[in-house]
Amino acid sequence: MSLVWAAFVNPLKPEGPEEEKLFQEGEYNKTHRVELSTASLLKVAPTAEERKIVHSLFLNTLDSKTVSFRSRVLPPNSVWMEDAKVKGLEICHPQERNIFNRIFGGFLMRKAYELGWANACIYGDIWQLAGGDYRQEHMLTTKALVCYTEGKNIQVRVHTEVMDPLTRQHNTTNVFHFTFATDTDVPNIVPKTYGHYTF
């Protein structure tokens, strides 16, 4: 068993007004992060102003003809939040861990930024970056779905698509089927939609 000891880290000493300004910005950001974490909905109820905003947004989506909570309409020039999401999955290997056996913060930040950037590009047609001299040609999306189970076996369908950012057209590149074996019986998978029965 190896022990990890805390190492002494020399404090930063800013030199000059520019470094002092950067140092103060870092201190502010650190304090701001702590304040945000204490204001989480998991710890504190929304403020009166926040409740008014949420309620107003909700009322704007009610169908005026039915005035039912179940009958919702999308306001003009709007997109449902659930239709503006992109998911990513990354299998992390030992080289992505630090000495505390956690994923490196820089690695997480890069992956989060890449996915956020892709989502923003898809949503807002933001393809001209860096002064307009760079454009992403294609985006590859991959979706995996457990489509059949039997005993200790799991059948997974993986669907890959390429999206053209200019036309927003999706084209299937491949559909893979993998069977994985486990040591114990797995739960049965049950289709919920008619489309899932075709997998």
Measured distance CA(39)–CA(46) in Å, rounded: 9
Task: Please report, for the chain, the start and end positions of each structural domain, with discontinuous segments joined by +.
Answer: 16-74, 82-136, 138-199
Closest by Cα among 79, 106, 77 to 92: 106
- What is the pLDDT at residue 4? 58
Is residue 115 within 8 Å of residue 86, measured between CB atoms?
A: yes
Closest by Cα among 118, 136, 119 to 127: 136
Of 97-106, 127-136, 186-195, minimum mean pLDDT range: 127-136
- What is the pLDDT at residue 155? 93
Closest by Cα among 11, 36, 14, 34 to 23: 14
User: Domain 138-199, what fold?
Assistant: Thiol Ester Dehydrase; Chain A (3.10.129)
Closest by Cα among 87, 118, 93, 128 to 107: 93
Q: Which two tokens stand for residue 141?
A: 């999306």
pLDDT digits (tens, 9 = 90+) for 66-114: 877 778 888 888 878 787 777 888 777 777 777 777 777 788 888 888 8
Write phi, then psi, for 196 (nearest 5 degrees): -65, -25
Query: Does 33 score more than 70 pLDDT?
Result: yes
DSSP letter string over 105-147? HHHHHHHHHHHHHHHHHHHHT---BGGGTB----EEEEEEEEE
What value does the mean pLDDT take over residues 189-193?
81
Query: Does 130 score more than 70 pLDDT?
Result: no
In a 13 Å sphere around the CA of 169, the CA atoms on its Cβ side amount to 4
